[in-house]
């Protein structure tokens, strides 16, 4: 019982704080933070656990979003089924491109992902313009039907839904980090020859990690689609390709709560600074350089040891694997 509590308390505390934050912050901001942190989680897992830096996360985001949008625009009205379809589309595309991509080295991996994002961008903007309506995007807010228990058309109900999804995802990733698979991922990042020597297949480990991470990203995309009620190719443009990487670094690479902290800090700064002088790039850019030069641990990565010291001063503290 105590063990179970100890496993859960970190996640529960983090989400309790997030729920408290909800009282002080406006609703759209909270929704944005939660979806953004889910979006970043996949990238953080890839970068921190498997050592793949990806500048093409928008590709998977857009896949999920457009799959949901197609369903809601042309076929049905139930948002839950739409999200499910988005997840399936993400799973499908990562299963198709995964075997090709994970063979490549880390720096090439970043670039082929970027290429995929650009290809999807032009497909949505020009080639498939007949069904995607090109730059105008698909508007389907009125198509979404009200559902009995959690009505996703209402922002505050959507918040509860997103909150629960995020909680489930964090529990899942915490579980994943504790399993043998999580250890294998880390091992394959640090020394792939030794992983091979121990009898594990690097390719299978990386492919599984890639599929899991990008399915999470697609889920974030379909949640964006349902929340905003519209999708446009802008979502996958190369300008935004580095957003998740920046947030990952900002929060702290490979840490469990880094994506939440990073998403709050990034979205907050963007809103705050663009409200003041309309020049947020300057601050984000120099903050990024500063964080990298200061030791690349990010906000949560620097806070975590301090917090642990404060709370676990007596007990023998085991570092997170």
Q: Which residues bind other proteins (CB under 8 A)?
A: 47, 53, 100, 103-108, 110-112, 114-116, 118-119, 122-123, 126-127, 129, 238-239, 242, 245-246, 249, 279-289, 292-293, 296
Burial zone of 9 (CB within 10 Å; 0-12 exposed, 13-18 middle, 19+ buried): exposed
C-beta closer to other proteins: residue 3 or 239? 239
3-state secondary structure of 191: coil
| Sequence-distant (≥ 6) Cβ neighbours of residue 212 within 8 angstroms | 42, 45, 176
Structure tokens at 209: 């990690």
Distance, in Å, from the CA atom of 14 to the CA atom of 317, rounded to the nearest integer, reads: 19
Would you say 167 or 238 has its CB closer to other proteins? 238
Q: Which residues contact 320 (CB under 8 A, 6 or more apart)?
A: 177, 256
Is the Cβ of residue 112 or residue 165 nearer to other proteins in the bound state?
Answer: 112
Which CB atom, from 127 or from 183, has the smaller least distance to other proteins?
127
Distance CA 184, CA 266 (A): 31
For residue 14, the minimal CB distance to other proteins (Å) is 25
User: CA-to-CA distance for 62 and 57, rounded, in angstroms?
Assistant: 9
Q: Which residues of 67-88 are buried (b: 16+ CB within 10 A; e: fewer)?
A: bbbbbbbeeeeebeebbbbbbe
Q: Which is nearer to other proteins, 80 or 108 (CB)?
A: 108
Closest distance to other proteins from the beta carbon of 130 (Å): 11
For residues 157 and 240, which CB has a smaller minimum distance to other proteins in the complex?
Answer: 240
**Smallest separation, CB 115 to other proteins (Å):** 4
Residue 171 main-chain phi, psi, to 5 deg:
-60, -40
Task: Report, in Å, the least distance between residue 84 CB and other proteins.
Answer: 29
* Distance of alpha carbon 187 from alpha carbon 139, whole angstroms: 45
Q: DSSP labels for 113-171?
A: HHHHHHHHHHIIIIITHHHH-GGG-EE-GGGPPP-SSS-TTSHHHHHHHHHHHHHHHHH
Q: Which is nearer to other proteins, 74 or 286 (CB)?
A: 286
Q: How far is the CB of 288 from other proteins (least distance, A)?
A: 3
């Amino acid at each position: 019982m105590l063990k179970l509590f100890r496993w859960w308390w970190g996640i529960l505390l983090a989400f309790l704080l997030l729920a408290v934050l909800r009282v002080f912050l406006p609703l759209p901001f909270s929704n944005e933070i939660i979806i953004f942190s889910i979006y970043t989680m996949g990238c953080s897992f890839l970068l921190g656990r498997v050592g793949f830096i990806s500048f093409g996360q928008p590709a998977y985001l857009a896949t999920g979003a457009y799959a949901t949008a197609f369903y809601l625009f042309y076929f049905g009205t139930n948002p839950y089924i739409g999200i499910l379809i988005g997840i399936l589309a993400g799973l499908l595309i990562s299963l198709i491109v995964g075997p090709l991509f994970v063979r490549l080295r880390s720096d090439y991996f970043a670039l082929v992902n970027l290429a995929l994002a650009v290809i999807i961008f032009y497909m949505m903007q020009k080639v498939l313009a007949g069904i995607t309506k090109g730059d105008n995007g698909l508007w389907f807010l009125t198509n979404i039907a009200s559902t009995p228990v959690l009505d996703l058309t209402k922002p505050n109900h959507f918040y509860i839904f997103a909150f629960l999804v995020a909680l489930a995802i964090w529990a899942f990733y915490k579980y994943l980090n504790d399993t043998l698979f999580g250890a294998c991922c880390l091992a394959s990042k640090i020394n792939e020859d030794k992983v091979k020597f121990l009898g594990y297949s690097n390719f299978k480990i990386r492919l599984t990690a890639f599929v899991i991470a990008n399915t999470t990203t697609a889920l974030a995309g379909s949640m964006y689609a349902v929340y905003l009620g519209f999708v446009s190719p802008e979502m996958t443009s190369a300008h935004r390709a580095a957003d998740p990487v920046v947030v990952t670094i900002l929060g702290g690479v490979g840490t469990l709560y880094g994506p939440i902290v990073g998403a709050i800090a990034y979205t907050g700064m963007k809103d705050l600074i663009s409200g003041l002088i309309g020049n947020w790039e300057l601050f984000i850019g120099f903050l990024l350089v500063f964080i990298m030069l200061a030791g690349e641990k990010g906000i949560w990565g620097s806070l975590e040891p301090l917090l642990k010291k404060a709370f676990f001063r007596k007990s023998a503290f085991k570092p997170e694997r």
